[in-house]
Amino acid sequence: MGVYVGDELFYKGVEISMQDALWGLCTLFVLLTFSLLLRRYALRWVFGVLLFLFCFFGGLSCMMHQLQETTVAFADKETIYRVCITEKPLVKEKSMLCTAELDGKNILLYLTKDSLSQRLRSGDELLINSLLSVPAGYGNPDEFDYPRYLLRRRISGVGFCSSDDWKLLAHHRPLSLSQRALVWRERVLGLYRELGFRGDELAVLSALTVGYKEELSEEIRESYSISGASHVLALSGLHIGFLYALLLFCLRIYPDKWWGARLCRCLIILTLLWAFAFFTGLSPSVVRSVLMCSLLVVSSVWGRESFSINTLTVAAFFMLLCRPAWLFDVGFQLSFCAVAAILLLQPDIYKILSPTHRMVRPVWTLLSVSLAAQIGTAPLVMLYFGRFSAHFLLTNLLVIVLVSVIMYGAIAMLLLTPFVLLQGWMAWLVKMLLQWLNAVVRWVEQLPLASIDQLWIYPFEVFLFYVLICLGRHCVSSHRAKSLVACLCCSLFLLGGHAFMRFQDRPVQSLSFYNVRGCPAVHCVAVDGRSWLVYADSLPDEKRLHRVASRHWQRQRLLQPRAVTADYQDSTLCFRDRILSYSGRRVCMVNDDRWKYQSASQPLAVDYLYVCKGYNGRLHTLAALFSFSTIILDASLPSYQQDAFKEECLERGYHFIALSEKGSMRFLL
């Protein structure tokens, strides 16, 4: 939480110098040492409070320092820069996305997609002429905060270069360790392609073995999400556990009673685990999983095989000490919550049945682990994705078995590289297993009630969910009435808070204009949850608008909006000749030149003049036809046209709102 507060303070502009933060940490450290020297039992809580405050403000200081290092003031005009590409460029629909380094800062650079840009590789040096800017948001309600996401990834700026605005200076500058890791990962992916892996099979294999998920299509992502198998596509503890189990099995020749043998086995396993992390590009999810597994391996040298909550806490502490922003990474949160739930809840869940049959025992163990992990991650999954997979037990029972065989088969396939014929046979087997895996996932996806969607919970509810889980576990283990009463009180508070927040977010009669490039529309909302999306274009980019605003509609509990692209009329709404009438308000949508040469004896009264891309005239021409109170400039307008319209509004005294600057606007009716 300390890191989150630091993040908020930074964004709101509260200036707290690093010197003040260091003085505060030193003061807390002195008090912490003094409290440790006090051996009075009655004051033992002082040490705990001071230790908590020390960690809290330490995380706050680290987060502030990282954000301040990331923030850069770029020139307000096109400038020539020398940059170095640090990762393999990603192919987009119309551009190439490059992560580059500029004077020790990371930037995202979009290049026009052509034959030259597609040849770029990690380590290439470029000379660019671009207007770099700090990542900025669009101001739409409940939209994913992409600028903050980039800042937490240490991305300082974003820029675009056309084909004539960049030049290749040198190939393959000396790479850093992380960049070399990405190069080796590309070699592994190239080997997969040479062995004949294509499409979904290549995408899933790349995600399972080296954590590369760019090949995954939207369809396969959605299938795995609905069936509850998304966690297998995120290279993390499950896959590292398979590798660790394989290494333990192969190194059982060492006698456990000899300390030197245990140390030798520990070094071999650590070397291979971190080598695997290197081949996956040293991604955060793999690093944290390998770090936790490494702590387990080191503890085994002294004969302590148990993996406890303390080990998990130590791993989280050191990871956040290196990268405080990882606390906000969704994968980080899900991974640690899943492992913590397995450690705390799985033993109690397993005791519910405690099967004795040797065939049933491993199945129930797998199901109890899956159930514990699902309980631990369900609140976060509902918060971030608004979805709950109902058949997760069936999915995990089938998928984890296939994934384990695929993982071991892929390792064998890579080890057989010198033997081409054997490697080809193993590749055929792995390909068949991947087809079965995808078929199982799609089969579960088609089952009735496979996924409960459109869920919405609030951040405070996530906290109360975890408090309720902890209280429930304590109630089961202690069998005390006080614990049961606490559980009931927490449940009532959770339900009451949810009901109050849902009442606050009930649908309101309104008109909304969203800041979405390329999809101008007016959203008309009724109090009963019905709504209409009146588009300015006859063929709108509906997917883009839904991607931006669907979470906001979900929070308001709106029904599926009705799309209006042509003349339409019912008892509530009327849309004719690009003039919208709804609940006593009128909106004239201007996206062509139909009004350019028209005249009127008396201006038509409208409330909002919605000017979109496609209109090439002047605003005073429209003022002769319409009597309006506000001009709304859509984000689809080119920047030069927006500037001209804003200048004209200032000269003539028109009240205007530029959505690209102000963000989404909602007018209550």
> How far, in Å, are 40, 268, 342, 630 from residue 205 at the CA level?
58, 26, 26, 54
Confidence of residue 425 (pLDDT cuts 50, 70, 90): very high
Please, what is the average pLDDT of the chain? 82
The arithmetic mean of pLDDT across residues 537-543, rounded, is 84
Report pLDDT digits (tens) over 257-267: 666 777 787 88
What DSSP assignment string belongs to 165-198? Answer: GEEEEES-PPP-HHHHHHHHHHHHHHHHHHTT--
Confidence of residue 655 (pLDDT cuts 50, 70, 90): very high
Q: Which residue has the higher pLDDT, 582 or 241?
A: 582
pLDDT of residue 14: 38
Is residue 595 over pLDDT 50? yes
Is residue 7 over pLDDT 50? no
pLDDT of residue 334: 80
Report for 56-70, 313-327, 554-568: range of highest mean pLDDT: 554-568
Is residue 659 over pLDDT 60? yes
Is residue 601 over pLDDT 90? no
For CA atoms 579, 583, 584, 585, give the dihedral sign: negative
Confidence of residue 357 (pLDDT cuts 50, 70, 90): confident
pLDDT of residue 394: 84
pLDDT of residue 252: 66
Confidence of residue 575 (pLDDT cuts 50, 70, 90): very high
- Burial string for 600-628 (b: 16+ CB within 10 Å, else e) reads eeeeeebbbbbbbbbbeeebeebbebbeb
Confidence of residue 16 (pLDDT cuts 50, 70, 90): very low
The arithmetic mean of pLDDT across residues 627-637, rounded, is 92
Distance CA 461, CA 655 (A): 41
Report pLDDT digits (tens) over 487-539: 899 889 989 988 998 888 889 999 999 998 888 999 999 999 999 999 988 88
Is residue 553 over pLDDT 60? yes
pLDDT of residue 259: 66
Q: Which residues touch 376 (CB under 8 Å, ≥6 apart)?
A: 337, 338, 340, 341, 342, 345, 469
- DSSP secondary-structure letter at 562? E
Confidence of residue 581 (pLDDT cuts 50, 70, 90): very high
Beta carbons of 583 and 490 less than 8 angstroms apart: no
pLDDT of residue 220: 87
Confidence of residue 333 (pLDDT cuts 50, 70, 90): confident
pLDDT of residue 649: 93
The arithmetic mean of pLDDT across residues 438-455, rounded, is 87
**What does pTM read for this prediction?**
0.80
Q: Which residues touch 581 (CB under 8 Å, ≥6 apart)?
A: 573, 574, 575
Confidence of residue 453 (pLDDT cuts 50, 70, 90): confident
Report pLDDT digits (tens) over 241-295: 777 777 777 776 555 566 677 778 788 888 888 887 777 777 766 777 787 778 7
Pure H helices in 416-507: 420-445, 459-478, 481-504
Tokens 């429930």 sit at which residue?
Answer: 472
Distance CA 627, CA 308 (A): 71
The arithmetic mean of pLDDT across residues 330-336, rounded, is 80
Distance CA 455, CA 554 (A): 8
Beta carbons of 273 and 411 less than 8 angstroms apart: no
The arithmetic mean of pLDDT across residues 447-456, rounded, is 83
β-strands 166-170, 125-130 pairing: antiparallel
Beta carbons of 585 and 609 less than 8 angstroms apart: no
CATH superfamily, domain 79-175, is Nucleic acid-binding proteins (2.40.50.140)
The arithmetic mean of pLDDT across residues 159-182, rounded, is 78
Q: Which helix (H) or strand (E) holds 11?
A: helix 2-12
Among 104-118, 274-288, 366-380, the least confident range: 274-288
Report for 107-111, 117-121, 347-351: range of highest mean pLDDT: 107-111
Report pLDDT digits (tens) over 17-63: 555 555 555 655 555 565 555 556 566 666 667 777 777 777 777 77
